[in-house]
Amino acid sequence: MKKSFLKIQSSKILFCLLFSGALVSCIETKTIFNALKSGVPNAFDYTSGKEHFVSFPKSNTPFEFPKSQKVDFLKGRTLKIGNKPAQNLEAFLENSKALSFLVIQNDSIVFEKYYNGADQNTTSNVFSVSKSYVAFTLAIAVEKGYLKMDDKVLKFFPELSGKIHPNLTVKNLIDMRAEFDYDETPLGTLGRPMMILYSPDIDYQVLKGIKTLAEPDTYYHYNSNATHLTSMIIAKATGVPFTQFFKENLWDKLQMEHEGGWQTDEKGVAKGFCCFHLTALDEAKIGKVLLDKGVWRGEQLIPRWFVDQITTNNDWQSGYYYSLSVRNNTIKIPMELWDGKTPEGARKGVKGQEIIKDNKHYMSFPLEDSDFYLEGFMANNVYVHPRTKSIIVRMGSNAVDYYSTPWPLVYRAIALGQDSIPNEKLFVSSPHVPVVNGEPTLKKGYKLPD
């Protein structure tokens, strides 16, 4: 069976090489083979490749969230999504292909359930939630003086001259506003996500694939290349591997109850855009840090200025801000209906911002009762609702459910005790080449300035 599989894969690789009409390096050939062999990643894909994994130890003094007396927090509650009939909330969560679902209020666990063979010791891939951990690590490195957010990328990688805009900054990268030619969508094919995910040398693959289509900060454009490049910059600036700096300055401080780790390529370099592994209980700790303005057990772990910006700034356009997804805590008003005033329910003292969604123009205002969340593939989320002091962690295992359920609104309803929500798709990524009024904002013929 294995020989037959390898024969089929070899034939596919040969076809790809012949079809491309170009010579391909050994690295790229191996990348193609790995991608075809593995396909779309899953929550436990590290189990077949522990040799390419940096492990992080559990703490000698682990922190445990106490369990509340209200452990039946969701008992008997129902939720109506859009026009669908109301359904029992606990049954809905159980049928949602989740691995775990955790609700913490006032620092105590009020709901904790595990599904599909998982338990409190289950470690799984949180996918693009990893991007937020890269951003936290970057903020710590900036606070310690290793680099600045407005440092030019060329300062760290002068060899990218002629491939990136000379004014491209580290913050542009982490905000997904680097304007690289990159398409995140073709999972399961030989597209860019799979090529960097399965490359034996991810740094080579990322640097090789960079091409610029516009000036930095032109448009939000989701880009895993940019986040991995950020992790490379952290390593260059600090002088140690990214995973070492992350472990010493974040993981070790959070008093983790279980072991965790980060997937790497064959050279031991962490896949900075994804593939951080930990348990749901340990994942909740970053939610507590953000809820407490960056403080953990009396120590300012993540800089306050950073936490304030990601939780109060209205500088987002259906996208990331410092690699933290804050896309559901806004009021959007069509421009033709906006009366020039701050709408009821919006945060006072924060100006609205014009955004473009599905080629339509809106004024966007952050909610007074705002919330925010980390987002990853398969609905891996850490959700925080400050007013109710709620932290919700969901670890998922199914892509279909991720796309079919408005999870941020589900979390908000749970935190607020609501029994109905609109069936609104809130996390739609911008297209590969966004179009506004018929004109592409990222131009294929863009010429970099000298």
CA dist 396 → 46, 135, 347, 353 (Å): 15, 22, 32, 33
Strands (E), 186-275: 260-263
pLDDT at residue 1, rounded to an integer: 43
pLDDT in tens, the chain (450 residues): 434 434 444 454 454 444 444 445 666 666 666 655 555 666 666 444 556 899 999 999 999 999 998 767 999 999 999 888 999 999 999 888 899 999 999 999 999 999 989 999 999 999 999 999 999 999 999 999 999 999 999 999 999 999 999 999 999 999 888 989 887 765 555 566 777 888 889 999 999 989 998 899 887 778 899 999 999 999 999 999 999 999 999 999 999 999 999 999 999 999 999 999 999 999 999 999 999 999 999 999 999 999 988 776 554 444 566 767 554 467 788 899 999 988 888 877 777 777 766 677 888 887 777 788 898 888 899 999 999 999 999 998 876 666 678 888 899 999 999 999 887 654 433 333 444 444 445 555 667 776
Q: What is the pLDDT of residue 41?
A: 65
Instruction: Provide the pLDDT for residue 34.
Output: 64
- For the record, the structure tokens of 253 come out as 């401080």
Cβ contacts of residue 156 below 8 Å, gap of 6+? Answer: 232, 233, 236, 237
pLDDT of residue 436: 43
How many CB atoms sit inside 10 A of residue 137's CB? Answer: 24
Specify the CATH number of the domain 57-329+370-427. 3.40.710.10
Which pLDDT score, from 0 to 100, does residue 440 have? 47
Residue burial 31-51, b: 16+ Cβ < 10 Å; e: rest: bbbbbbebeebbbebbeeeee
Contact (CB, 8 A) for 265 and 257: no
Q: Are strands 380-385 and 372-376 parallel, antiparallel or unpaired?
A: antiparallel
- Kindly provide the b/e burial profile for residues 235-251, where b requires at least 16 CB atoms within 10 angstroms of the residue's own CB: bebbeebbbebbbebbb
Rounded to two decimals, what is the model's pTM? 0.85
Q: Which residues contact 361 (CB under 8 A, 6 or more apart)?
A: 334, 335, 354, 355
Q: What is the pLDDT of residue 427?
A: 40
- Paired strand residues for 161: 164
The residue written with tokens 């000379």 in the block is 166
Quick one: pLDDT at residue 433?
Answer: 44
Q: Which residues lie closer than 8 Å to 79 by C-beta, 6 or more apart?
A: 86, 87, 89, 92, 410, 413, 418, 419, 420, 421
